[in-house]
Structure 1
Amino acid sequence: MPKSLAGEQIGILGLARSGLAAARLALARGARVYASDAGDSDASRQAAETVRSLGGDAETGGHDLTKLGASDRIVLSPGIPPTAKVLKEEAIGGIPVVPEIELAYEQLDCPVIAITGTNGKTTVTALIEHLMRGDGIDAVAGGNIGTALSEVALREPQPAWAIVECSSFQLGGIRHFNPKIGVLTNLAPDHLDWYPDLEAYYADKARMYVNASADSLWILNAEDERAATLLGDAPGTRLYFRAETPPDSEDELGGWVSSGTLVIRTEPGRTERVIPAAGLQILGPHNIANALAAALAARLAGASLEGIAEGLRTFQAPPHRLQPVADVDGVLWVNDSKATNIASTRVAVRGMTRPTVLLLGGKHKGEPYTELLPDLAGHVRAVIAYGEAAPLIVADLEGKAPVERVDGPFEDVVRRARERAHEGDAVLLSPACSSFDMFRNYEARGERFAQLAREGRAG
């Protein structure tokens, strides 16, 4: 049953979708709420008005530290990094700060499947939901995928399962969050513009295991050594997925590919063939790994083998993840705007089967672009560097890869890509950077790219 929050004063930082949902949830459970947002956009002002209409207190354009200082705890929207200035204010020192998923988890009356990792989280989250719902199981995806977990917690009746995409920022502050099933897709450098080093980033990912028990079920990437061992000696059952290697033993639980077919084993002595890998609509070896991870999670949560097979056959890539958006004059345009780090862009480039014009740029996140060089050779006809990161990209790649810099608006970037692409080529937006120099988020960047591609012109 939902837990009453009567008598509790809750501060909420951020009034985007998750912050607003957290405010709604806290107020519905009887708490007093003060919510604030440093921004002052139309959307944030409208969200503040909604909070006030529900009986809470809210403001935009800054934070009232006196009101925040009176909170019993502060709930953090996922878009606010742990390095945010307001979190260092003395007035709120000592007050517990928790992510929105922590507040929502307390109010859920259903088990949770949590998905984290550097890349593939959104695809795996969406795929698990697709497999389970297609099999008649009332499963709802939330968290970092777009629907706030607090929205799921407010749902009546509660779903049978909540499927939660978790960022490192969200996991770093959890206290009681404890998934029944946890998936770790992979680990690679990311968010080095916020974390002091790679180990700090990985440590936040490892928080998924902090409340593990003997009943926990952990699905791990056997082909990523750090991901396979991150949980250390945490209790629970381990299942390993492998896209390119066989299991280590006849007793290993997990998923792999055997004679071109996806195979899963979720309990000793029961090995099940799912579908041929060629039957997937999502492309690339990384998506075979994603499909195996999702199939394992869905099977553990009660989905039938037949339902999983049908779901894998019908699932299509989520928006902004290697999503074909146009074929104009023989040039395929592919939107991979969610690739906001080097590792994700490397995966995208490896999966391209056509000569490719790569759009690379945005707001720099601290990684060297030289790490792309092994994958650019043989795949990429041209790299077009743009945005704030363009000078760094050119400095790292010039003389080693065919790179050029385009200054000016995004329309000019797309125009130049169109000029460089030949019939039979692909234009790939896989930026390896965040979007915040030109766009409000990666979705807006991908949508603009798709629009320009379909128009057949730039501007």
Structure 2
Amino acid sequence: MRELIHSGQLAGHKAVVVGAGASGRAAARLLLALGATVRLLDSAEPGEAVKAFVEETGVAFESGAHTREQFAGADMVVLSPGIARASLGEVLADVPEQKIMAEIELASWFLSEPVIAVTGTNGKTTTVSLVARMLEEAGKKVFLGGNIGTPPSTYLLEGVNGEKADVVVLEVSSFQLQNCRSFRPRVAVLLNFSPNHLDWHADMEEYLQAKLRIFARQDAGDLAVVPLEMKDELEGREFTRAARVYFVPTERFSAVSRLIGPHNKANMEAAWLAVRPFGVTEEQARAAVAAFSPKPHRLEAVAEVNGRLFVNDSKATTFEAVAAALRSFDRPVRLLAGGKYKGGDPALLVPLLREHAASVALFGASREIFEPAWKGVVPLTWHATLEEAVRKAFADSAEGDVILLSPGTSSFDLYTDYTARGRDFARVAKELA
């Protein structure tokens, strides 16, 4: 895909990439292909993937604590999504604001294809996957990436099977948007907004401002897709110059969908509104929904044992996501919650717990957050491990119950990530069969 770039475009530029994960390596590879001089930094010692990358590309790599000297004279500083700018503190004091960017911002400079970008507290991965399937059903060649997986920098170098896409679909997080200034999607989607990442952002206002950057550079020829429940808040901010359409959950695709819950009805509607400008018909969108399976760890049924349904919603790392999960069932729910607290008020779930939960089994960290809020609302126990919590929920359950892992927290107290937590839940459920 080198026709999208040429090797001299950034010749003479000095770039520093912070973070040597997949996004950082992709940015470094693109910068090298564009002719820039690149320094790749990571606070951790290099693993095998990083060592192989350095050997292959010859990029200058430095590990350990960052220093001001490493950024001296930089024409651009690219931060990986997992790197909070605030965490770099004084080492960036001499770098002008306009020279600091996310990998997705860097890649966007070289994208000529129309972009559909999706952000929100919950539902991003499901929605971008639906968007991609709908476009493909209409015969479009699609690149799907960003926060969901493949960085757009990789697309610029490799394309889709070596070819240019008709549409680029990107899942975009607040971490990425916070370091974007010129990123301009043809269609920008905000799915929802609720407390999250308050261990990262200074407060809710900073988190919302980061999300709203997805609309900042749009104009009248673009489209903003936003939830009706946020209309008053957003219109008061004059958040975009784009045409806008507001969505609510509908029954449009319910007859053919395997996705559980009203929040997924909203996700499907948002996806449909996002693809309409690209000529996708409602019939094509319906066919895409009918063929679409729930993503792993997102209200994923993983086992049924003696009439008890085990549902893995490990991706639910916010209380809003837990609320959506609880609303998805008309059967008694045995809820499994707990982990590294990220912010939000668990007391807001009390009405839903009374309505839907037969019991709650807490596990891991944040017991001190959950117990005061939920004690006396439903039968409540705490366990050191997820396995103990699952077995307790199963022992207390009756035929027809749902045993639901929907933690409301990050996984980093007991697991490397939410996928490891979900796999462990599925393992225990299958052992009980």
The TM-score, its normalising length taken from structure 1, stands at: 0.87
Tell whether 2:414 aligns with 1:442. no
**What is the CA deviation profile of residues 312-339 of structure 1, one whole-angstrom value per residue up to 9, with x for unaligned ones?**
2221211111111111222111111111
CA contact 1:354–1:424 (8 Å) conserved in 2: yes
- What amino acid is aligned across from residue 134 of structure 2 in structure 1? L
CA contact 1:117–1:185 (8 Å) conserved in 2: yes
Structure 1 residue 63 displacement after superposition: 3.4
Counterpart in the other structure of 2:168: 162
Structure 1 residue 348 displacement after superposition: 0.7
Mapping for residues 18-33 of structure 1, pairs under 5 Å: 18-33=23-38
Structure 1 residue 64 displacement after superposition: 5.3
Cα separation, 2, equivalents of 1:218 and 1:141: 19
What stretches of structure 1 of length at least 5 have no aligned partner?
244-256, 263-274
Q: What is the total number of aligned residue pairs between the two structures?
A: 424
Q: Report the 3-state secondary structure (helix = DSSP H, G, I; strand = E; otherwise coil) of the residue aligned with 1:377.
A: helix
The TM-score, its normalising length taken from structure 2, stands at: 0.92
Counterpart in the other structure of 1:241: 247
Structure 1 residue 345 displacement after superposition: 0.8
Of 224, 230, 235, the match for 1:229: 235
More deviation, 303-312/125-134: 303-312
Mapping for residues 44-83 of structure 1, pairs under 5 Å: 45-63=48-66, 65-83=68-86
Structure 1 residue 8 displacement after superposition: 1.6
* Greater RCO (Cα-Cα under 8 Å, separation 6 or more): 2
Tell whether 2:156 aligns with 1:153. yes
CA contact 1:48–1:59 (8 Å) conserved in 2: no
CA contact 1:221–1:228 (8 Å) conserved in 2: no
Structure 1 residue 67 displacement after superposition: 2.4
Structure 1 residue 59 displacement after superposition: 3.4
Cα separation, 2, equivalents of 1:324 and 1:226: 37
What stretches of structure 2 of length at least 5 have no aligned partner?
none
Of 367, 382, 386, the match for 2:363: 386
Counterpart in the other structure of 2:264: 287
**What is the CA deviation profile of residues 71-106 of structure 1, one whole-angstrom value per residue up to 9, with x for unaligned ones?**
22211111222332x244256543622111111112
Of 2, 9, 16, the match for 1:11: 16
Flag the 1:223–1:319 CA change in 2: closer, same or farther, 3 A. same
Flag the 1:317–1:216 CA change in 2: closer, same or farther, 3 A. same
Q: Report the 3-state secondary structure (helix = DSSP H, G, I; strand = E; otherwise coil) of the residue aligned with 1:220.
A: strand
Counterpart in the other structure of 1:193: 199
More deviation, 88-97/159-168: 88-97
Counterpart in the other structure of 2:96: 94
- What amino acid is aligned across from residue 304 of structure 2 in structure 1? D
Cα separation, 1, equivalents of 2:205 and 2:239: 18
Cα separation, 1, equivalents of 2:300 and 2:246: 27
Of 344, 368, 390, the match for 1:414: 390
- What amino acid is aligned across from residue 167 of structure 2 in structure 1? W
- What amino acid is aligned across from residue 72 of structure 1 in structure 2? D
Superposed CA RMSD: 2.1
Cα separation, 1, equivalents of 2:85 and 2:401: 42
Q: Report the 3-state secondary structure (helix = DSSP H, G, I; strand = E; otherwise coil) of the residue aligned with 1:286.
A: helix
- What amino acid is aligned across from residue 140 of structure 2 in structure 1? I
Counterpart in the other structure of 1:112: 115
Counterpart in the other structure of 1:265: none
CA contact 2:195–2:343 (8 Å) conserved in 1: no
CA contact 1:20–1:51 (8 Å) conserved in 2: no
Flag the 1:419–1:369 CA change in 2: closer, same or farther, 3 A. same
Structure 1 residue 115 displacement after superposition: 0.5
Q: Report the 3-state secondary structure (helix = DSSP H, G, I; strand = E; otherwise coil) of the residue aligned with 1:224.
A: helix
Of 424, 429, 432, the match for 2:400: 424
CA contact 2:177–2:211 (8 Å) conserved in 1: yes
CA contact 1:283–1:351 (8 Å) conserved in 2: yes
Flag the 1:66–1:230 CA change in 2: closer, same or farther, 3 A. farther
